[in-house]
Structure 1
Amino acid sequence: MAQSESSTDDEGAGSGSGPTQVLEFGLGDETYCLDIDVIDEIVDAGQLTRIPNSPAHVEGVIDLRGRTTSIINPKTVFNIDQDGERNRIIVFDPDSIGDQGTIGWIVDEVYQVTNITPDDVDETTTANDENVHGIVKGDDKFVVWVDPDIVGE
């Protein structure tokens, strides 16, 4: 797939005029997306080691190629009550999210990488939520474009 023409320093949906590549993934019955530039890799969900006294959104840790990676459940962060398969882990590039460790989100499914333009994004419905860039209007669905920095909260 072609590299995005927008700068990797763009903060939000409307900051660049070119397309942005996003990864679409499922949490329960809903579809969300993340800027592909903040993602390091996608791996199959494996056995997690629980951390005693950790926040509710921290599912545990996993060893990925010698790196201890904290696994976050975005369903807890976004108050999604639905169960799901929890098949994949989206691992973030530690340099992109401003966190000191390696973090991944456990998600139900990973769908596809798509290009979006600022015209595809409705930012007005998310004006009060700093963790959502906007709603991406697709052919037959809406996709919530989220900010990975929520993982540090």
Structure 2
Amino acid sequence: MTMVKIVAFKLGEEEYGIDVNHVQSIERINQITRVPNAPIYVKGVINLRGNVIPIIDLRSKLNLEEAVHTANTRVIITKYEDIELGLIVDQTTDVIDADQDNIEPISSSGLDVEYFGGIAKIESRLIILIKLAELLNVAD
């Protein structure tokens, strides 16, 4: 039985997850410096402990309707290979262990599934797993 640790977060009513190995930290949203001519989903950059990190609005990136930032809004600072990136999410929920056997592939249902690595079924929850590598490829 292979377990995967996932940082779970919400975008609207849906729950998503990202592999904990790619998560550096979870931050409150603070001053974001806009970058001219950036794609719509790139909100800008932040200075986090001396590192300049691009910030992506995950809702915008996944073509979900925009939401107002609240006290629960967080930026998940991720790192994949040498790329650091912040993802704005509505709220983080928890860190959970998912059994690899309980992760179903997303079938080719005509959905835009390139960013999704499957759906984890944990008790009564369905958590859509984000493939960071795919997200970053397009974010370049």
- TM-score, normalised relative to structure 1: 0.79
Question: 1:1-150 counterparts in 2 under 5 A?
Answer: 17-85=1-69, 87-93=73-79, 97-100=80-83, 102-125=84-107, 129-149=113-133, 150=135
Task: Write 1 or 2 for the structure with the bigger share of strand.
Answer: 2
In structure 2, C-alpha distance between the alignment counterparts of 1:127 and 1:147, rounded to whole Å: 17
Contact 2:6 2:17 in 1 (8 A): yes
Matched, 1:151 2:133: no
Q: Give me the CA root mean square deviation.
A: 1.9
In structure 2, C-alpha distance between the alignment counterparts of 1:84 and 1:118, rounded to whole Å: 34
In structure 2, C-alpha distance between the alignment counterparts of 1:127 and 1:39, rounded to whole Å: 29
Aligned residue for 1:151, secondary structure, equals helix
What is the percentage of aligned positions where both structures have the same residue? 27
Unaligned runs of at least 5 residues, structure 2: none
Structure 1 stretches (4+) deviating beyond 4 angstroms?
A: none
Q: Could you tell me which amino acid in structure 2 is paired with residue 104 of structure 1? A: G
Contact 1:73 1:107 in 2 (8 A): yes
Unaligned runs of at least 5 residues, structure 1: 1-16
Aligned residue for 1:125, secondary structure, equals coil
Q: How many residues align?
A: 133
Aligned residue for 1:76, secondary structure, equals helix
